[in-house]
Chains A and B, each alone.
Chain A
């Protein structure tokens, strides 16, 4: 089972910021926090990842709580193309025999309104 909890769905207006939350209260010190998204009819796509510090890239920002028990993916200006299912995933070397592989939960379905 996934070790993260996300809202099932969220809505946003185009060109407004979006904050997608993720709870991971059982995170261990070596778990990396990864975010992937899946656009309709496509394979998952990497968004961002981090360990302890906040991270920024061209797609998004990742804000990690000081205790690391939660994180937030921030899309600074949502576009229609950002409508997708967003997955928050912990990667750990020994989790459930997966040896660091991606264990997907149900994710958050983001809808973007024009």
Chain B
């Protein structure tokens, strides 16, 4: 158990809909990261937040957005969903920003868009 929790575990929705994925980082961790894992693209970094502020962006679509709240939990919002958005979404956390720091990954949310 990494200490990172994600809800829900599974989500089934239809094209065009909007969903919100939630992540609670390990206690004390200030950085939160979101990753997408699909069969054809592998594991891709989406976005990072540090202490409530957006820190870095990866391959995140404009239809996706995220935020980190004062209690440090984070939400990833996916809108106008398409079939290709079906994937595993992982959240990770780390204490800070150092290159030596370990990222601790949650169990993921499996999203299926029908």
Q: Does A103 contact B (CB under 8 A)?
A: yes
Given A42-B107, A43-B105, is A104 in contact with B55 using a C-beta cutoff of 8 Å?
Answer: no
Q: Does A98 contact B (CB under 8 A)?
A: yes
Task: Name A residues whose Cβ lies closer than 8 Å to a Cβ of B.
Answer: 30, 32, 36, 38, 42-46, 49, 87, 91-93, 97-106
Is the Cβ of B105 less than 8 Å from the Cβ of A32? Answer: no
| Of B40-48, B70-78, B79-87, the one with at least 4 CB within 8 A of chain A | B40-48
In the assembled complex, the Cα of A45 lies from the Cα of B57 at a distance in Å of: 22
Is the Cβ of A101 less than 8 Å from the Cβ of B90? Answer: no
Q: With a CB–CB cut-off of 8 A, which chain B residues contact A99?
A: 48, 55-56
Given A43-B92, A104-B42, is A92 in contact with B99 using a C-beta cutoff of 8 Å?
Answer: yes
Interface of B is mostly: strand
Nearest residue in A to B45 (C-beta to C-beta)? Answer: A101
Is the Cβ of B43 less than 8 Å from the Cβ of A44? Answer: yes
In the assembled complex, the Cα of A73 lies from the Cα of B63 at a distance in Å of: 38
Is the Cβ of A100 less than 8 Å from the Cβ of B99? Answer: yes
B105 touches which of A45, A98, A101, A106 (Cβ 8 Å): A45
Number of A-B residue pairs having CB atoms within 8 Å of each other in the complex? 62
Within the complex, what minimum Cβ distance (angstroms) separates B87 from chain A? 13
Nearest residue in A to B47 (C-beta to C-beta)? Answer: A101
Nearest residue in B to A100 (C-beta to C-beta)? Answer: B99
Is the Cβ of B107 less than 8 Å from the Cβ of A100? Answer: no
13 residue pairs A–B, Cβ–Cβ below 8 Å: A42-B108, A43-B106, A44-B103, A45-B105, A46-B102, A92-B99, A93-B99, A97-B56, A98-B58, A101-B33, A102-B92, A102-B103, A103-B45
In the assembled complex, the Cα of A105 lies from the Cα of B44 at a distance in Å of: 9
Given A43-B90, A101-B58, is A32 in contact with B103 using a C-beta cutoff of 8 Å?
Answer: no
B89-114 interface with A by 8 A CB criterion: 90, 92, 97, 99-100, 102-108
In the assembled complex, the Cα of A30 lies from the Cα of B42 at a distance in Å of: 26
As a 0/1 sequence over residues 15 to 59 of chain B, the CB contacts with chain A under 8 angstroms (1 = contact) are 000000000000000000101000000111100100000011110
